[in-house]
């Protein structure tokens, strides 16, 4: 099993539609760790760690998003696993 870190930026109607809380719930249920936050430009940023196949599933989920959101674009980049998180949470920093 390969562990990895995935940074995702989601653009569209993704703020004010429970995108962060839905992402937190989804990622936690998948056993991933990391965080999700709103960006000033109206996008949502996600930094997640875990098994690469599970991260790929989270990325696929982000391309649709929760009900009420309208995802227009998703950018992502793979990084080296660091293991610095113990859970998945919403952050405001």
Asked about 7 being catalytic, the answer comes back as no
Q: H or E stretch including 52?
A: helix 52-62
Asked about 20 being catalytic, the answer comes back as yes
Q: Which residue in the list 20, 39, 40, 70 is annotated as catalytic?
A: 20
d(CA 73, CA 13): 10
Q: Which residue in the list 5, 7, 38, 40 is annotated as catalytic?
A: 38
Which residue has tokens 């998948």? 30
Which residue has tokens 């998945």? 88
Q: CB of 37 within 8 A of CB of 91?
A: yes
User: Catalytic residue numbers?
Assistant: 20, 38
């Amino acid at each position: 099993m390969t562990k990895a870190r995935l940074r995702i930026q989601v653009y569209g109607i993704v703020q004010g539609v429970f995108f962060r809380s839905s992402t937190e719930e989804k990622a936690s249920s998948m056993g991933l760790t990391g965080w999700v936050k709103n960006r000033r430009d109206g996008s949502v940023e996600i930094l997640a760690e875990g098994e690469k196949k599970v991260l790929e599933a989270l990325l696929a989920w982000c391309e649709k998003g929760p009900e009420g959101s309208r995802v227009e674009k998703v950018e992502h980049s793979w990084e080296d696993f660091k293991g610095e998180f113990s859970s998945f949470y919403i952050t405001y920093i």
